[in-house]
Structure 1
Protein backbone atom coordinates (compact mmCIF):
# COMPACT_ATOMS: atom_id res chain seq x y z
CA UNK A 1 0.00 0.00 0.00
CA UNK A 2 1.45 3.36 -0.99
CA UNK A 3 0.15 6.71 0.15
CA UNK A 4 1.33 9.90 -1.48
CA UNK A 5 2.48 12.87 0.55
CA UNK A 6 -0.75 14.76 -0.16
CA UNK A 7 -2.96 11.83 0.80
CA UNK A 8 -1.20 11.38 4.13
CA UNK A 9 -0.95 15.04 5.07
CA UNK A 10 -3.94 14.86 7.39
CA UNK A 11 -2.44 11.83 9.11
CA UNK A 12 0.75 13.82 9.71
CA UNK A 13 -1.35 16.49 11.40
CA UNK A 14 -3.17 13.91 13.52
CA UNK A 15 0.11 12.32 14.65
CA UNK A 16 1.60 15.72 15.44
CA UNK A 17 -1.46 16.84 17.41
CA UNK A 18 -1.62 13.62 19.41
CA UNK A 19 2.07 13.73 20.31
CA UNK A 20 1.79 17.38 21.37
CA UNK A 21 -1.23 16.70 23.57
CA UNK A 22 0.25 13.65 25.27
CA UNK A 23 3.69 15.15 25.81
CA UNK A 24 2.27 18.52 26.82
CA UNK A 25 0.20 16.90 29.57
CA UNK A 26 3.09 14.84 30.93
CA UNK A 27 5.47 17.77 30.70
CA UNK A 28 3.29 20.15 32.69
CA UNK A 29 2.77 17.48 35.34
CA UNK A 30 6.45 16.61 35.49
CA UNK A 31 7.49 20.24 35.91
CA UNK A 32 4.91 20.59 38.68
CA UNK A 33 6.44 17.48 40.32
CA UNK A 34 3.19 15.55 40.24
CA UNK A 35 3.93 11.93 41.20
CA UNK A 36 1.80 10.41 38.45
CA UNK A 37 3.61 12.40 35.74
CA UNK A 38 7.04 11.74 37.23
CA UNK A 39 6.28 8.02 37.24
CA UNK A 40 5.00 8.21 33.65
CA UNK A 41 8.22 9.81 32.44
CA UNK A 42 10.25 7.06 34.10
CA UNK A 43 8.13 4.40 32.38
CA UNK A 44 8.36 6.15 29.02
CA UNK A 45 12.15 6.29 29.19
CA UNK A 46 12.33 2.51 29.37
CA UNK A 47 10.62 2.31 26.00
CA UNK A 48 13.08 4.53 24.14
CA UNK A 49 14.69 2.77 21.19
CA UNK A 50 12.28 -0.19 21.34
CA UNK A 51 9.25 -0.97 19.13
CA UNK A 52 5.90 -0.03 20.63
CA UNK A 53 4.62 -3.61 20.58
CA UNK A 54 7.56 -4.82 22.67
CA UNK A 55 6.82 -2.55 25.64
CA UNK A 56 3.57 -3.79 27.25
CA UNK A 57 4.09 -1.44 30.19
CA UNK A 58 3.34 1.49 27.88
CA UNK A 59 0.21 0.11 26.25
CA UNK A 60 -2.02 1.76 28.83
CA UNK A 61 0.15 4.87 29.17
CA UNK A 62 0.35 6.23 25.62
CA UNK A 63 -3.31 6.72 24.76
CA UNK A 64 -3.54 6.44 20.99
CA UNK A 65 -7.33 6.01 20.85
CA UNK A 66 -7.75 9.11 18.61
CA UNK A 67 -5.86 7.24 15.90
CA UNK A 68 -8.61 4.62 15.83
CA UNK A 69 -11.45 7.11 15.50
CA UNK A 70 -13.03 8.14 12.22
CA UNK A 71 -11.79 11.47 10.91
CA UNK A 72 -14.09 14.34 9.87
CA UNK A 73 -14.24 12.90 6.35
CA UNK A 74 -15.54 9.64 7.82
CA UNK A 75 -12.48 7.60 6.89
CA UNK A 76 -10.61 5.54 9.45
CA UNK A 77 -6.89 4.89 9.19
CA UNK A 78 -5.92 1.74 7.35
CA UNK A 79 -3.89 -0.91 9.15
CA UNK A 80 -0.58 0.23 7.69
CA UNK A 81 -1.32 3.89 8.40
CA UNK A 82 -2.39 3.04 11.94
CA UNK A 83 0.66 0.93 12.70
CA UNK A 84 3.06 3.56 11.42
CA UNK A 85 1.26 6.37 13.23
CA UNK A 86 1.39 4.42 16.49
CA UNK A 87 5.10 3.80 16.10
CA UNK A 88 5.77 7.48 15.36
CA UNK A 89 3.91 8.63 18.46
CA UNK A 90 5.62 5.97 20.58
CA UNK A 91 9.11 6.95 19.44
CA UNK A 92 8.47 10.68 19.91
CA UNK A 93 7.01 10.25 23.39
CA UNK A 94 9.75 7.96 24.65
CA UNK A 95 12.53 10.14 23.25
CA UNK A 96 10.98 13.18 24.91
CA UNK A 97 11.02 11.31 28.24
CA UNK A 98 14.77 10.72 27.86
CA UNK A 99 15.21 14.41 27.00
CA UNK A 100 13.07 15.66 29.90
CA UNK A 101 14.73 13.57 32.62
CA UNK A 102 15.94 15.75 35.50
CA UNK A 103 15.31 18.99 33.56
CA UNK A 104 13.50 21.82 35.33
CA UNK A 105 12.16 23.40 32.13
CA UNK A 106 10.11 21.86 29.33
CA UNK A 107 12.24 20.23 26.64
CA UNK A 108 9.29 20.00 24.24
CA UNK A 109 8.71 23.38 22.64
CA UNK A 110 6.81 24.11 19.46
CA UNK A 111 8.65 25.22 16.35
CA UNK A 112 7.82 28.42 14.50
CA UNK A 113 9.44 30.65 11.90
CA UNK A 114 11.06 32.90 14.49
CA UNK A 115 12.19 30.07 16.76
CA UNK A 116 13.53 26.98 15.04
CA UNK A 117 12.97 23.87 17.12
CA UNK A 118 13.51 21.20 14.50
CA UNK A 119 16.03 18.41 15.02
CA UNK A 120 18.69 19.99 12.82
CA UNK A 121 18.44 23.30 14.66
CA UNK A 122 18.66 21.54 18.03
CA UNK A 123 21.87 19.78 16.99
CA UNK A 124 23.32 23.00 15.55
CA UNK A 125 22.59 24.74 18.84
CA UNK A 126 25.08 22.42 20.54
CA UNK A 127 27.90 23.74 18.36
CA UNK A 128 29.92 26.94 18.63
CA UNK A 129 28.21 29.79 16.72
CA UNK A 130 30.98 30.12 14.16
CA UNK A 131 32.15 26.54 13.89
CA UNK A 132 30.85 23.10 12.95
CA UNK A 133 31.45 20.25 15.36
CA UNK A 134 32.12 17.54 12.80
CA UNK A 135 31.58 14.49 15.06
CA UNK A 136 28.27 15.95 16.17
CA UNK A 137 27.24 16.73 12.60
CA UNK A 138 28.05 13.14 11.68
CA UNK A 139 25.69 11.93 14.39
CA UNK A 140 22.87 13.79 12.68
CA UNK A 141 23.90 12.43 9.27
CA UNK A 142 24.09 8.92 10.71
CA UNK A 143 20.58 9.25 12.11
CA UNK A 144 19.41 10.46 8.73
CA UNK A 145 20.78 7.36 7.02
CA UNK A 146 19.21 4.84 9.43
CA UNK A 147 17.84 1.81 7.53
CA UNK A 148 14.62 1.57 9.53
CA UNK A 149 12.64 3.28 12.28
CA UNK A 150 14.04 1.19 15.13
CA UNK A 151 17.65 1.99 14.23
CA UNK A 152 16.61 5.61 13.72
CA UNK A 153 15.04 5.71 17.20
CA UNK A 154 18.22 4.31 18.75
CA UNK A 155 20.42 6.85 16.98
CA UNK A 156 18.06 9.67 17.90
CA UNK A 157 18.26 8.60 21.53
CA UNK A 158 22.01 9.24 21.47
CA UNK A 159 21.38 12.72 20.06
CA UNK A 160 18.60 13.47 22.52
CA UNK A 161 20.91 12.58 25.41
CA UNK A 162 23.31 15.27 24.19
CA UNK A 163 20.46 17.76 23.81
CA UNK A 164 19.40 17.09 27.39
CA UNK A 165 22.88 17.94 28.64
CA UNK A 166 22.67 21.40 27.07
CA UNK A 167 18.92 21.85 27.64
CA UNK A 168 18.44 22.36 23.90
CA UNK A 169 14.69 22.17 23.25
CA UNK A 170 13.01 20.22 20.48
CA UNK A 171 9.56 20.19 18.90
CA UNK A 172 8.47 16.61 19.49
CA UNK A 173 5.16 17.12 17.72
CA UNK A 174 7.08 18.04 14.58
CA UNK A 175 9.42 15.11 15.12
CA UNK A 176 6.47 12.71 15.49
CA UNK A 177 5.06 13.82 12.14
CA UNK A 178 8.49 13.38 10.55
CA UNK A 179 8.83 9.90 12.04
CA UNK A 180 5.50 9.00 10.47
CA UNK A 181 6.61 10.41 7.12
CA UNK A 182 9.90 8.52 7.40
CA UNK A 183 8.12 5.18 7.13
CA UNK A 184 6.63 5.85 3.67
CA UNK A 185 8.32 5.58 0.28
CA UNK A 186 10.40 8.70 -0.29
CA UNK A 187 9.91 9.71 3.34
CA UNK A 188 13.53 9.38 4.52
CA UNK A 189 14.74 11.73 1.78
CA UNK A 190 12.09 14.31 2.64
CA UNK A 191 12.85 14.13 6.36
CA UNK A 192 16.60 14.37 5.82
CA UNK A 193 16.01 17.48 3.72
CA UNK A 194 13.89 19.00 6.48
CA UNK A 195 16.58 18.29 9.08
CA UNK A 196 19.22 19.87 6.86
CA UNK A 197 17.15 23.02 6.42
CA UNK A 198 16.54 23.13 10.15
CA UNK A 199 20.26 22.80 10.80
CA UNK A 200 20.97 25.90 8.72
CA UNK A 201 17.91 27.78 9.99
CA UNK A 202 19.43 28.02 13.47
CA UNK A 203 22.37 30.01 12.11
CA UNK A 204 20.02 32.24 10.14
CA UNK A 205 18.04 32.87 13.33
CA UNK A 206 21.18 33.86 15.22
CA UNK A 207 22.30 36.20 12.45
CA UNK A 208 18.85 37.75 12.25
CA UNK A 209 18.82 38.42 15.98
CA UNK A 210 22.28 39.98 15.78
CA UNK A 211 21.18 42.24 12.94
CA UNK A 212 18.18 43.63 14.82
CA UNK A 213 19.15 46.64 16.98
CA UNK A 214 18.33 46.26 20.63
CA UNK A 215 15.18 48.26 21.49
CA UNK A 216 15.64 51.43 23.42
CA UNK A 217 13.13 52.91 25.80
CA UNK A 218 11.54 56.19 24.77
CA UNK A 219 12.37 59.09 27.10
CA UNK A 220 9.71 59.86 29.67
CA UNK A 221 8.16 63.19 28.67
CA UNK A 222 7.92 64.08 32.35
CA UNK A 223 11.60 63.43 32.91
CA UNK A 224 14.48 65.48 31.60
CA UNK A 225 16.86 62.49 31.49
CA UNK A 226 16.90 59.59 29.08
CA UNK A 227 16.06 56.29 30.77
CA UNK A 228 18.57 53.47 30.60
CA UNK A 229 17.41 51.14 27.81
CA UNK A 230 18.61 48.12 29.74
Structure 2
Protein backbone atom coordinates (compact mmCIF):
# COMPACT_ATOMS: atom_id res chain seq x y z
CA UNK A 1 0.00 0.00 0.00
CA UNK A 2 2.87 2.35 0.72
CA UNK A 3 4.17 1.83 -2.81
CA UNK A 4 0.76 2.66 -4.25
CA UNK A 5 0.42 5.80 -2.15
CA UNK A 6 3.76 7.04 -3.43
CA UNK A 7 2.85 6.32 -7.06
CA UNK A 8 0.16 8.98 -7.53
CA UNK A 9 1.98 12.23 -6.84
CA UNK A 10 0.19 15.59 -6.63
CA UNK A 11 1.44 16.37 -10.12
CA UNK A 12 -0.08 13.16 -11.45
CA UNK A 13 -3.34 13.94 -9.66
CA UNK A 14 -3.48 17.32 -11.40
CA UNK A 15 -2.68 15.83 -14.81
CA UNK A 16 -5.26 13.08 -14.38
CA UNK A 17 -7.99 15.49 -13.34
CA UNK A 18 -7.17 17.78 -16.27
CA UNK A 19 -7.55 14.84 -18.65
CA UNK A 20 -10.87 13.88 -17.05
CA UNK A 21 -12.24 17.40 -17.46
CA UNK A 22 -10.87 17.90 -20.96
CA UNK A 23 -12.09 14.67 -22.54
CA UNK A 24 -15.85 15.30 -22.36
CA UNK A 25 -15.49 19.03 -23.06
CA UNK A 26 -13.47 18.43 -26.21
CA UNK A 27 -15.73 15.60 -27.36
CA UNK A 28 -18.81 17.75 -26.82
CA UNK A 29 -17.30 20.74 -28.58
CA UNK A 30 -16.33 18.68 -31.62
CA UNK A 31 -19.84 17.23 -31.69
CA UNK A 32 -21.21 20.79 -31.64
CA UNK A 33 -23.15 20.29 -28.41
CA UNK A 34 -24.39 23.69 -27.30
CA UNK A 35 -23.44 23.46 -23.57
CA UNK A 36 -19.87 22.46 -24.43
CA UNK A 37 -19.52 25.11 -27.13
CA UNK A 38 -20.69 27.71 -24.61
CA UNK A 39 -18.34 26.34 -21.96
CA UNK A 40 -15.38 26.66 -24.29
CA UNK A 41 -16.27 30.27 -25.04
CA UNK A 42 -16.38 31.03 -21.30
CA UNK A 43 -13.10 29.24 -20.64
CA UNK A 44 -11.37 31.03 -23.49
CA UNK A 45 -11.92 34.38 -21.82
CA UNK A 46 -9.70 33.23 -18.96
CA UNK A 47 -6.64 32.49 -21.12
CA UNK A 48 -3.68 34.49 -19.85
CA UNK A 49 -5.52 35.66 -16.72
CA UNK A 50 -5.32 34.61 -13.09
CA UNK A 51 -7.81 32.05 -11.82
CA UNK A 52 -9.41 34.39 -9.28
CA UNK A 53 -10.22 37.06 -11.85
CA UNK A 54 -13.15 35.15 -13.37
CA UNK A 55 -15.47 33.57 -10.78
CA UNK A 56 -17.70 32.61 -13.71
CA UNK A 57 -15.27 29.78 -14.47
CA UNK A 58 -15.36 28.15 -11.05
CA UNK A 59 -18.34 26.01 -12.00
CA UNK A 60 -16.59 24.79 -15.15
CA UNK A 61 -13.35 23.70 -13.48
CA UNK A 62 -14.38 21.29 -10.74
CA UNK A 63 -11.38 20.77 -8.48
CA UNK A 64 -13.43 18.84 -5.92
CA UNK A 65 -11.64 15.52 -6.62
CA UNK A 66 -8.38 17.09 -5.44
CA UNK A 67 -9.90 17.61 -2.00
CA UNK A 68 -10.86 13.94 -1.73
CA UNK A 69 -7.91 12.05 -3.23
CA UNK A 70 -8.19 8.36 -4.12
CA UNK A 71 -6.66 5.64 -1.96
CA UNK A 72 -3.49 5.55 -4.04
CA UNK A 73 -2.72 9.25 -3.49
CA UNK A 74 -1.69 11.37 -0.55
CA UNK A 75 -3.93 14.29 0.48
CA UNK A 76 -2.89 17.70 -0.86
CA UNK A 77 -2.18 20.41 1.69
CA UNK A 78 -3.53 23.93 1.30
CA UNK A 79 -0.58 25.24 -0.71
CA UNK A 80 -0.71 22.20 -3.00
CA UNK A 81 -4.41 22.78 -3.62
CA UNK A 82 -3.84 26.40 -4.59
CA UNK A 83 -1.10 25.41 -7.01
CA UNK A 84 -3.25 22.65 -8.45
CA UNK A 85 -6.23 24.93 -8.98
CA UNK A 86 -4.09 27.58 -10.66
CA UNK A 87 -2.47 24.96 -12.90
CA UNK A 88 -5.84 23.52 -13.95
CA UNK A 89 -7.26 26.97 -14.65
CA UNK A 90 -4.30 27.92 -16.82
CA UNK A 91 -4.18 24.66 -18.77
CA UNK A 92 -7.92 24.48 -19.45
CA UNK A 93 -8.28 28.11 -20.52
CA UNK A 94 -5.28 27.83 -22.83
CA UNK A 95 -6.80 24.68 -24.35
CA UNK A 96 -10.06 26.56 -24.95
CA UNK A 97 -8.16 29.27 -26.82
CA UNK A 98 -6.27 26.63 -28.80
CA UNK A 99 -9.43 24.67 -29.68
CA UNK A 100 -11.44 27.61 -31.00
CA UNK A 101 -12.53 27.10 -34.63
CA UNK A 102 -10.58 23.85 -34.96
CA UNK A 103 -12.41 20.76 -36.31
CA UNK A 104 -10.08 18.28 -34.57
CA UNK A 105 -9.03 17.98 -30.95
CA UNK A 106 -6.17 20.26 -29.97
CA UNK A 107 -5.68 18.31 -26.74
CA UNK A 108 -3.91 15.08 -27.65
CA UNK A 109 -2.08 12.78 -25.27
CA UNK A 110 1.70 12.66 -25.37
CA UNK A 111 2.93 9.20 -26.41
CA UNK A 112 6.31 7.74 -27.26
CA UNK A 113 5.30 7.45 -30.91
CA UNK A 114 3.61 10.86 -31.01
CA UNK A 115 5.15 13.54 -28.83
CA UNK A 116 2.79 16.33 -27.74
CA UNK A 117 4.80 18.26 -25.15
CA UNK A 118 5.26 22.03 -25.32
CA UNK A 119 8.86 21.92 -26.52
CA UNK A 120 7.98 19.50 -29.32
CA UNK A 121 4.99 21.61 -30.35
CA UNK A 122 7.13 24.74 -30.65
CA UNK A 123 9.75 22.85 -32.65
CA UNK A 124 7.09 21.52 -35.03
CA UNK A 125 6.26 25.09 -36.03
CA UNK A 126 9.76 25.42 -37.49
CA UNK A 127 10.84 24.41 -40.96
CA UNK A 128 12.43 20.94 -41.08
CA UNK A 129 16.14 21.07 -40.32
CA UNK A 130 16.05 24.70 -39.13
CA UNK A 131 15.91 26.45 -35.78
CA UNK A 132 13.69 29.53 -35.86
CA UNK A 133 15.23 31.81 -33.24
CA UNK A 134 12.16 34.01 -32.62
CA UNK A 135 10.08 30.90 -31.92
CA UNK A 136 12.78 29.33 -29.76
CA UNK A 137 13.04 32.54 -27.76
CA UNK A 138 9.29 32.45 -27.09
CA UNK A 139 9.75 29.07 -25.44
CA UNK A 140 12.75 30.33 -23.47
CA UNK A 141 10.80 33.41 -22.33
CA UNK A 142 7.97 31.20 -21.12
CA UNK A 143 10.41 29.05 -19.18
CA UNK A 144 12.01 32.08 -17.54
CA UNK A 145 8.77 33.86 -16.64
CA UNK A 146 9.16 35.57 -13.22
CA UNK A 147 5.66 34.74 -11.99
CA UNK A 148 2.52 32.82 -12.84
CA UNK A 149 0.77 35.76 -14.50
CA UNK A 150 3.71 36.37 -16.85
CA UNK A 151 3.90 32.65 -17.60
CA UNK A 152 0.21 32.53 -18.49
CA UNK A 153 0.56 35.47 -20.88
CA UNK A 154 3.67 34.06 -22.56
CA UNK A 155 2.09 30.64 -22.98
CA UNK A 156 -0.98 32.32 -24.42
CA UNK A 157 1.16 33.87 -27.16
CA UNK A 158 2.61 30.46 -28.01
CA UNK A 159 -0.82 28.80 -28.02
CA UNK A 160 -2.16 31.35 -30.52
CA UNK A 161 0.63 30.34 -32.90
CA UNK A 162 0.03 26.62 -32.30
CA UNK A 163 -3.65 27.14 -33.02
CA UNK A 164 -2.94 28.80 -36.35
CA UNK A 165 -0.60 25.97 -37.28
CA UNK A 166 -3.08 23.26 -36.15
CA UNK A 167 -0.46 21.71 -33.89
CA UNK A 168 -1.98 19.93 -30.86
CA UNK A 169 -0.66 19.82 -27.31
CA UNK A 170 -1.07 17.51 -24.33
CA UNK A 171 -2.86 19.84 -21.92
CA UNK A 172 -3.00 17.25 -19.15
CA UNK A 173 0.79 17.02 -19.29
CA UNK A 174 0.95 20.82 -19.33
CA UNK A 175 -1.33 21.07 -16.29
CA UNK A 176 1.01 18.80 -14.34
CA UNK A 177 3.99 20.86 -15.43
CA UNK A 178 2.27 24.09 -14.41
CA UNK A 179 1.67 22.61 -10.96
CA UNK A 180 5.34 21.66 -10.66
CA UNK A 181 6.45 25.07 -11.97
CA UNK A 182 4.92 26.73 -8.90
CA UNK A 183 6.75 24.53 -6.37
CA UNK A 184 10.16 25.54 -4.95
CA UNK A 185 12.72 24.62 -7.59
CA UNK A 186 9.95 23.44 -9.90
CA UNK A 187 10.52 26.05 -12.61
CA UNK A 188 13.96 24.54 -13.26
CA UNK A 189 12.42 21.08 -13.59
CA UNK A 190 9.82 22.26 -16.09
CA UNK A 191 12.34 24.27 -18.12
CA UNK A 192 14.44 21.13 -18.48
CA UNK A 193 11.39 19.15 -19.61
CA UNK A 194 10.43 21.75 -22.20
CA UNK A 195 14.01 22.00 -23.43
CA UNK A 196 14.39 18.23 -23.60
CA UNK A 197 11.22 17.79 -25.65
CA UNK A 198 12.32 20.63 -27.95
CA UNK A 199 15.70 19.04 -28.66
CA UNK A 200 14.47 15.43 -28.74
CA UNK A 201 12.10 16.14 -31.63
CA UNK A 202 13.28 15.12 -35.10
CA UNK A 203 12.04 16.24 -38.49
CA UNK A 204 11.04 12.69 -39.41
CA UNK A 205 8.60 12.65 -36.48
CA UNK A 206 6.51 15.52 -37.78
CA UNK A 207 5.96 15.07 -41.48
CA UNK A 208 3.15 12.54 -41.42
CA UNK A 209 -0.02 12.53 -43.54
CA UNK A 210 -2.44 15.12 -42.26
CA UNK A 211 0.11 17.14 -40.31
CA UNK A 212 -0.36 20.86 -40.58
CA UNK A 213 2.14 23.15 -42.23
CA UNK A 214 4.38 25.19 -39.92
CA UNK A 215 3.16 28.62 -38.89
CA UNK A 216 5.13 31.61 -40.17
CA UNK A 217 7.66 32.72 -37.55
CA UNK A 218 6.64 36.32 -37.88
CA UNK A 219 2.95 35.62 -37.28
CA UNK A 220 1.44 38.05 -34.81
CA UNK A 221 0.12 36.61 -31.59
CA UNK A 222 -3.14 38.49 -31.43
CA UNK A 223 -6.42 36.58 -31.61
CA UNK A 224 -7.64 35.82 -35.09
CA UNK A 225 -10.84 37.31 -36.44
CA UNK A 226 -12.32 33.88 -37.16
CA UNK A 227 -16.04 33.69 -36.66
CA UNK A 228 -17.30 30.24 -35.80
CA UNK A 229 -19.76 28.38 -33.65
CA UNK A 230 -18.07 29.46 -30.41
CA UNK A 231 -17.09 33.03 -31.27
CA UNK A 232 -17.79 35.41 -28.44
Q: TM-score range by the shorter chain?
A: 0.7 to 0.9
Aligned alpha-carbon RMSD (Å): 2.0
Residue 112 of structure 2: aligned partner:
113
Q: Give the structure-1-normalised TM-score.
A: 0.84
Residue 23 of structure 2: aligned partner:
24
- Cα deviation, 1:7-52, whole Å, max 9, x if unaligned, reads 7961111100111111111100000000000000000001111111
Equivalences for residues 70-219 of structure 1 within 5 A = 70-72=69-71, 75-203=74-202, 206=205
Q: Give the structure-2-normalised TM-score.
A: 0.83
Q: CA deviation at 1:130?
A: 1.0
Q: CA deviation at 1:142?
A: 0.5
Q: CA deviation at 1:202?
A: 1.8
Q: CA deviation at 1:101?
A: 0.3
Q: CA deviation at 1:183?
A: 0.4
Task: State whether residues 118 and 169 of structure 2, in contact with CA within 8 Å, keep that contact through their aligned partners in structure 1.
Answer: yes
Q: CA deviation at 1:53?
A: 1.4
**Higher Rg of the two aligned structures:** 1
Residue 62 (structure 1) aligned with residue 70 (structure 2): no
Change (3 A) 1:150 1:43: same
Q: CA deviation at 1:80?
A: 0.1
Distance 1:207 1:51 in 2: 33
Count of residues paired in the alignment: 204
Segments of structure 2 that go 5 or more residues without pairing to the other structure are 1-5, 209-232
- Cα deviation, 1:77-101, whole Å, max 9, x if unaligned, reads 1110000000001100000000000
Segments of structure 1 that go 5 or more residues without pairing to the other structure are 1-6, 210-230
Which 4+ runs in 1 deviate beyond 3 A? none
Distance 2:174 2:111 in 1: 13
